[in-house]
Chain A
Amino acid sequence: MIMPLPPDPGELPARGRLGAWLARRVDTWARTARHPLFWVGAREMAGVSIGLTAWAFMTGVAMVKSGMSITESVLMSLLVFAGSAQLAAIPLIAADAPLWVVLAAAFCVNLRFVVFSLHLRPYFMHLPRFKRLYLGYFTGDVTYVLFTRRFPRPPETEGQRRAQGSYLWGGNVTNWVFWQSLSMLGIFLGAALPSRWGLEFAGTLALLAVACSMVTTRLRALSAITAAAAAVVLFGLPYRLNIVAAIAVAVAISLYAEPRPPAAGDDAGARDA
């Protein structure tokens, strides 16, 4: 059941306007959270989150063990909210690489989200721009996969829009709470463990596991091996430029090695990148 709001009180002083805005926000949230699909999304996400918790924990440990302070690690976890990009940036930050190299590496690791956003565009375009970006920011890998699996088609009616939005928020809220709490646990426990154990290596292994999961075609394996070799060979470059150079070399070689003319199924391949 949806509780009606009291009638519009007309002109309000500044504090009243803020209160009315807050009341509307709370009401919108309550409507989303009361939708049955919100809880379906939350439950399905919770099942997958058990695996993600280990991940979040390791990201927390890796951040604090690479020499970042607890404050910096907590801020990074809360604001950046992108595990693999954080893990990739941590060693670069620790090595004092220039800012643009850190950002370029984070951008490349996050490129998969660009592909997701192309896929999600017809689902989100009915929202105003700020809400689209807000919803996009909170939609991680797993919620994206679960969402597009449950809803193969974009919404057409208002009811479908509410249903899809509720399901997605159910997954997003669950994901965020699991991720952030385990990441915090990793930060605070990690700070208490001895550095001699080299626990930050768990972050490297975490990235290695993601890389393994991305080896779905021969060309991607070629890209992975080329980039690894180039990054080691070019390690002498200043400012950790070896990362950027290795990515450019690997992508160029993989594009060059593609069979041509490009097959019609190319687009489908890009989708699941």
Chain B
Amino acid sequence: MHELDGWTLLAILGMTAISVITRGFFFISEREWTLPEWAQRGLQYAPIAALTAVIAPDILLTEGVVGAVLRDARTWGALAAAGFYFWRRRGSYVMPAAIAVGMAVFLPLRVGLGW
């Protein structure tokens, strides 16, 4: 419950440094400078790619292989959350609501049916 693993601590400290560096990236140097042009364009695509690269295996894979996707609570939860998001994307608090809708689909399937 309360143990502190040295490796995890290192990861936490490294991520803290990442928070400081990324949020202050252009404050570090006094000199005027900008990223090369291709890197600036690439910045548009990297964050969303990082997110979907992390979540896609978490949703689709079971122990490293594509399992019975249609009999999986995660598939339906994710579809419900994304569907709700795009249906109500102009509304307020749509992000927490989408998570709640996804969990409302996921939990009965997982706890009730064991999917």
Contact = CB atoms under 8 A, between A and B. Distances in A.
Contacts of B7: 99
Interface residues of B, number: 75
Contacts of A136: 20, 23-24, 27
Interface string B42-60: 1111111111111111111
B54 A105 contact: yes
A219 to B, nearest CB: 7
B113 interface: no
B24 A246 contact: no
Judged by DSSP, the binding face of A is helix
Given A99-B11, A112-B47, A250-B45, A231 B24 contact: no
Given A205-B103, A269-B44, A270-B43, A211 B20 contact: no
Given A55-B95, A71-B3, A132-B27, A231 B52 contact: yes
Contacts of A270: 40-41, 43-44
Judged by DSSP, the binding face of B is helix
Interface residues of A, number: 99
Given A204-B55, A227-B49, 15 more contacts: A51-B93, A51-B95, A69-B5, A71-B2, A88-B54, A109-B54, A133-B20, A204-B58, A208-B51, A209-B99, A212-B89, A213-B89, A242-B57, A250-B46, A255-B45
Q: A-B pairs with the 7 shortest C-beta distances?
A: A228-B56, A54-B96, A108-B50, A227-B49, A136-B24, A250-B49, A246-B53
